Structure 1
Amino acid sequence: MKKHLILLLILCFTLVGCKQKEDAVKGGIDKKGFITKIYSKGNRILVDDVDTGLIWMAMPDNGEIENYEEGQEVVIWINGGIDESYPAKAKALNIENSNGNQSQSSLPKFIFKNEKFPPSINCFVKINDIRYEMTKGNSKWKNENESVQTDAASPTQIAESFKVIAVEPNNKITIEIEQNPNLSVYLWDSEEDEVTFEKKQITVPTNQGRYIYEVVAKWSNGEVSYTFVVEVK
């Protein structure tokens, strides 16, 4: 009887110790917010935290980025500190859904104005009050009755035939795409792939050279990639 009691006590202490260890590793919730962008190539998500604002969160070692979607509310435990850049950057120790499997979409819905499907969209960049049309790449659309997905050349391949736009160092570029999509801008062949921008404007680099940009426009029912190329003189 005493032997059984001792074994039971040992088991209880072991379970309590494991739980305390788990809590110590996990700790309290560091950040909570909605996912505004998902960058699969860089294995990270952009979260809009109430206190910090926008913060790029690298996925935990056992995390799968396919499990998340834009508009989803998550709670995050941070592994280490936060890089106070803009947006801020951090490594996640653990990420969980805030409300089970519920999510809130922050993407606008594209309104099909006529019977043409997929739609033809006006897409330009404006530099020094001059508008230049971007070249369309991959796209995917869905409406109530059908869906379509098209595959195109990569931005680097599209750039080979794109008429390069000459710009000055630190020129501002405004992105103009109808129906106000959620925008992401990527600079190809660069260590810092995603470009930070405000009010639909990006700033070109100061160094001379040729730069390939990809603009990804997202609606809740569609997504289109566009490419343009500039050369800083």
Structure 2
Amino acid sequence: MKKIVLPFLISLVLVGCNGKSDDNGTIEQPEGKITANGEQYIMMPSNYEWKENNTEIRHLRPHNRVKSADNFETLEAEKGDTLKFEIDKKPSSVEMIKVNEDDTIESVEMKDNEIILPSKEGYYIYELNAKWDKGKITFLFDVNVK
């Protein structure tokens, strides 16, 4: 009996925690995508909060950019390349920061959902914070600029 119950409970927890929307009114977690050199990549969600229709979701993780970025396939790009972003549910505001190799943090200007990569070679971690009236999410990704 335990062999049947444990997989069932694990499946139930995974399905209940994914935040995907269906016609029953569950909440769908926004997805963030990057387009670089014609290829599309899914950004790693870090923290997520949403409140809608008497349902509240809070998925908060310890804030460790390096560890979270390790879960993302590092983008290989050229100096000055442009990255384009697409975020589900059209956020009301988006802010981005860049963490340099020396751990200094800079604000990154985003125009028309695009950023221009640095003109200096190096490894960079980017954090994108998107907000809506009903919630917010943080996405992470890393880039090796050559």
Rg (Cα) greater in structure:
1
The answer to whether the 8 A contact 1:156-1:188 is kept is no
Whether 1:166 aligns to 2:76 is yes
Structure 1 residues 142 and 200: CA distance shift in structure 2, 3 A: same
Q: Which has the higher contact order (CA 8 A, sep 6+)?
A: 2
Q: How many residues align?
A: 122
Structure 1 residue 116: Cα displacement: 5.6
1:6-31 deviations in Å (ceiling 9; x for gaps): xxxxxxxxxxxxxxxxxxxxxxxxxx
- Rounded Cα–Cα distance in structure 2 between residues aligned with 1:206 and 1:115: 48
Task: Specify the code of the residue in structure 1 equivalent to 2:43.
Answer: M
- With normalisation by structure 2, the TM-score equals 0.75
1:28-65 deviations in Å (ceiling 9; x for gaps): xxxxxxxxxxxxxxxxxxxxxxxxxxxxxxxxxxxxxx
Whether 1:147 aligns to 2:60 is no
2:106 aligned to which of 193, 216, 224: 193
**Matching of residues 85-124 of structure 1 within 5 Å:** 114-115=23-24, 117-124=26-33
RMSD: 1.9
Q: Using the aligned pairs only, state the percent identity.
A: 24
- Rounded Cα–Cα distance in structure 2 between residues aligned with 1:170 and 1:134: 20
Structure 1 residues 203 and 114: CA distance shift in structure 2, 3 A: farther
- With normalisation by structure 1, the TM-score equals 0.48
Which runs of structure 1 show a deviation greater than 6 angstroms over 4 or more consecutive aligned residues?
none
Structure 1 residue 159: Cα displacement: 1.4
Task: Specify the code of the residue in structure 2 equivalent to 1:125.
Answer: I
Structure 2 stretches lacking a partner, 5+ long: 1-20
Structure 1 stretches lacking a partner, 5+ long: 1-111
1:227 aligned to which of 122, 140, 144: 140
The answer to whether the 8 A contact 2:27-2:52 is kept is no
Task: Specify the code of the residue in structure 2 equivalent to 1:122.
Answer: E
Give secondary structure in 1 for the equivalent of 2:28: coil
Give secondary structure in 1 for the equivalent of 2:33: strand
The answer to whether the 8 A contact 1:185-1:194 is kept is yes
- Rounded Cα–Cα distance in structure 1 between residues aligned with 2:70 and 2:51: 30
- Rounded Cα–Cα distance in structure 1 between residues aligned with 2:81 and 2:143: 10
